[in-house]
Structure formats: structure tokens, C-alpha cells
Chains A and B, each alone.
Chain A
Amino acid sequence: MRNIFLFIRIYFTFIFFLFLMGVSFYMIFSYNRYHHAVYSKTANEITGNINKRYNSVQYYFQLKRTNDSLVKANEALYNRLREDFEIPDTVNKAAIDTMNFDSTHKTRKYLYMEAKVIHNSVNLLNNYIELHRGKLQGVEPDMGVIGLNNAVVGTVIDVSNNYAVVMSLLHEQSNLSARLKRGGETGIVSYDGKTPGILYLKDITKSAKIHAGDTVVTSGFSDKFPGGLPVGYVKDIINDKSSSTYTVRVTPAADFEKLQFVYIINNLQKEEPEKLLEKVKSK
């Protein structure tokens, strides 16, 4: 017994070192698995607060760019107004289906919420974006996030009361179902963390006709994003002869470095298909 105590006393520094290492390793592996470690809630609030202060200064330097992008977004919306389209034949009256404007919101599927970006990283292996909008303002984990001109940015993974952390598309664990706009072939968009600013579109059948510059859009199969939002543009094809599918290099449509405002997508009809799927699986 005495020897054990002696041993502990002599090697106490080393044991303490091992203990701290153990704590660190526990954090590394548990955070990636669950995203919901106890400390991340408080830590989000504190770092969010500091980031917000810094951002309120830095924001002024970007006002011009933000304004320019808003003018562009406005232009795109103006071009979609009903008044811009006129049918020359006056016999055919354009009828508007009022069902779409139903005030009880029964037909509404997606609701957009704006959020301010307060911290953003692009050059790390796994990139995260922090937003100043949290649980109290209606953000939940697993909501989709889009930027200007509807370009896909990422997915919310963690929320505290007033802040939310978004896993950017430039994250190793991000997998997004996407399709080529021209041909309609679907695949998975992911990021390998080695070449910054390049996404990979995998599992495209070899019968697909792909041109450089083709648009890649969301497939609409996931419950986070509506279909047809731009994800990126085809750069080139990696032709792997041993595989039966193409892997396509894609430059992202969103400008991750210059994000100032983003929109969080709330899918209001998420539960019904989920329940149905569960019912089918449990049979």
C-alpha cells in the first residue's frame, strides 16, 4: 500500500498530464459524435458575445459590399414580379389561384428567417459559421442555411439561446444531396478539407453529359432545402476508370469569405413524411 502512494507521489505530474490529455481526447471524440456536449451551450453564448462585439466594428468596413449584394438580390426579385409579364392575347385572362395565398399558412412549406453572420471561417479543415439568432428566435438544429442569391451555405448543428453554429459546406462531415441542373443526375456533394474552396460531387452516372460551368442545384430530396437552389458550378471531372461513377469538382456558388447575412430555412412540413417513414421502417 505504501509503495502505491509513493508511486503516485513520484509520478503525480505525469499522472496529471495523462489526466488532462484524457479530458482533451474525451472532448475531441464526444463532440464530433453528439454535437451536444454540456459545455458547448455556455461556450457558444460567451464566444458569440465576443464575436458580436468584434463584428459590429468590422461590419462597417463591409457596408459597401453588403449594399451592392443587396441591390443585386433586389434586382433578381424585381424581375420575378407578376407585372413584368404580359400576355398579348386579351381573351385569355391570367387567373391567379388564390389557394396559394391562403392566410392560414396551410400550404406554406418553407419559411425563411434572416440572420446576421458574426463569425466565419473558411481556411480550416472543418469550417463553422456563427449566427446571431438562436433557440429563442426560432432556430433549431438541422435547418438549412442559404446565402445571397439562394446559394447553399450549410446546416445548423447547434443552437444556444441567442446564437447558432452552422456547419458550412466546407466541412468534412457535410453531405448534401444535389443534382445537375442540365441533365438531372443526382449525387452527393461533400468536402475533403484539402483543397480550399473546392467541393466534390460524387456518384454521378457515367452516362451523364457534363460541361464545365454547368450549375449544380439542390435535389429537393432532403428535408432541409427546397429543390433547385444553386450549390455550385462544375469545374472539371475526375475520371476514375476503376469506378462506375464520375466524381465532379465543383466551385461553390456561395462566396464563403464575404458572408454578412444569411437566411435560415425552416421546413414547416418536416414531421409528416418523417413519421410516415418511421412507420414503414418499423413494419
Chain B
Amino acid sequence: MNNLVKNIVRFCLFILVQVFVLDQIPPLHQLVTPYIYFLFILWLPFKMGRRMQMLVAFALGFVLDCFANSYGMHAAACVLIAYLRPFLINLLISQEGADSNYNEPSIQSMGFTPYLTYVTILTFIHHTFLYFLQALQTGGYFYFFLKSLISTAISLLLILLIELLFPRKQRFRTNTI
């Protein structure tokens, strides 16, 4: 499938799953709110321009904000992880130019441990920033810290399940830089 079409379909699917499945779950516990929609940003192609990544992330966050009536919160958190993403990829990919071998970050293209580190760090940053913005309005900083830790754990579990259930087959593109 064409890269653009694939990403548009993903965009819609992630928004729908987040809004109509994960936000509808009766509260498991007062501290747990699972988010997975930002996985869309983590799966964007390596070759995409940095400004384009941020713009797409902003759009994703804004659409979710429209559904949740929390204008700006998810958008801010998404832009932040889209900005930090290239730095992390540069750090975690071992060889020079390895990011042109495959199309997008996955277990297959990065290796299990680097990919897990990449997902964990960005998930944690996303959740912490999101709950920090909420805590700015409500106070309760201890509560905010606990909430971001537990939610990160639950979201990571969900992301792991998604990776196992829907393995993304990636074509090896080239070896040359």
C-alpha cells in the first residue's frame, strides 16, 4: 500500500479506537487512563521531514481534543514527542544510515531492545506532559506523578499487545547510505 494512504487509514483508526473504545471503558481505577493513539506518531516514516512530523502530530492531537473537549492538551503533548522523536532515533539506531534500510520504526527495523526503549521513553514523556498540563489546572502534584507512572505501564502493555497482534511486515529497502 502507498505510504500516504496507509498513514491516513492509520490516523483514522487510531482516533476511532481511542475515542470509542479506550475512552469508553468504565474506569478501571482512578489512576488508569490508557492512551495508544500517539503510537501513530511513533510509527511515522524515518524519512519524513521534522516540521512535517510536528504538523501531523499537532493535527492528530487536535482531532482527539475536539472529541474530548480538551482543546490544546493532547496537541501539546503530541507536538512534544514529535519534536523529540528524531533525537531518540539517532541515539538508538546503532549503525550509520541504518534508518534508510527500512521504512519506519518497528521491532524488525530497530531491534527489540532499542525499539522498546524508544517506545517507553516517548510514552512516558507523552503521559507525564499530558498529566502535568492537567495538574496545572487542578493542583495535586503527587497524584499527577503516580498517575503518569501507572498509566504509562498500562499503555505500554497495550502497545506490546498491538505489536504482537498486528505484526507490521517491513520490506528491506536498501543497504546503501
Q: Write the residues of chain A forming the contact surface with B, with a CB cutoff of 8 angstroms.
A: 12-13, 16-17, 20-21, 23-29, 31-32, 37, 39-40, 43, 46-47, 51, 54, 119, 121-126, 128, 165, 172, 192-197, 257
Contact = CB atoms under 8 A, between A and B. Distances in A.
Interface of B: 20, 23-27, 30, 33, 50-51, 54-55, 58, 61, 65-73, 75-76, 79-80, 83, 133-134, 137-138, 140, 143
B27 A196 contact: yes
A124 B23 contact: yes
Contact of B137 (A20, A54, A172): A172
Contacts, number: 88
Nearest to B33: A123
B70 A126 contact: yes
B76 A24 contact: yes
Contacts of A54: 20
Contacts of A12: 51
Contact of B83 (A17, A37, A196, A197): A17
A51 B68 CA distance: 11
Nearest to A26: B72
A194 B33 CA distance: 12
26 contacts: A12-B51, A20-B54, A20-B55, A20-B75, A21-B76, A23-B72, A24-B75, A24-B76, A25-B76, A26-B72, A27-B71, A28-B71, A28-B73, A28-B133, A31-B72, A40-B71, A121-B23, A121-B24, A121-B68, A123-B25, A123-B26, A124-B68, A126-B70, A172-B138, A195-B30, A196-B30
Nearest to A43: B66
A28 B135 CA distance: 13
A50 to B, nearest CB: 8
B133 A193 contact: no
B58 A24 contact: yes
A31 B73 CA distance: 11
Contacts of A31: 71-72
